[in-house]
Amino acid sequence: MTDLADLADAAAHKDDFTQATQDLARLLQTLADGRHEGRESMSLARLAKRCALPMSTLLRYLSVLTETGWVSLEDGERGLQLVRLTAAGAAQLDSLGTA
């Protein structure tokens, strides 16, 4: 028999998943918006600010997005790491219907 705590845990997990999905879509959209503004890549600090995400969360998401090939990380000037939306990431964003 499922108790109230199990239901609460399941609901919290679903809420976390929903939030992560929204955050990832917003991150991809922010990078796409930057491309439309003439920015092929964006610094981690700028991306975190524009997405309203803590840096630790942004780095965790970028780890996943880099593994999937949807974004790439590159070294920029003055030691900054830059994030770039790849063609695969743009296609994924288009498939989400948010672009």
Per-residue pLDDT tens over the stretch 41-64: 999 999 999 999 999 999 999 999
pLDDT of residue 12: 58
Which domains can be identified in the chain, with CATH numbers?
4-97 (1.10.10.10)
CA distance 28 to 56: 17
Coil vs helix vs strand at 88: helix
Secondary structure of 59-83 in HEC code, one letter for each residue: HHHHHHHHHHCCEEEEECHHHCEEE
Contact in structure between 56 and 68 (CB atoms under 8 Å): no
CA distance 86 to 74: 12
Q: What is the DSSP letter of 79?
A: G
Which pTM does this prediction carry?
Answer: 0.78
Side chain identity, residue 65: L
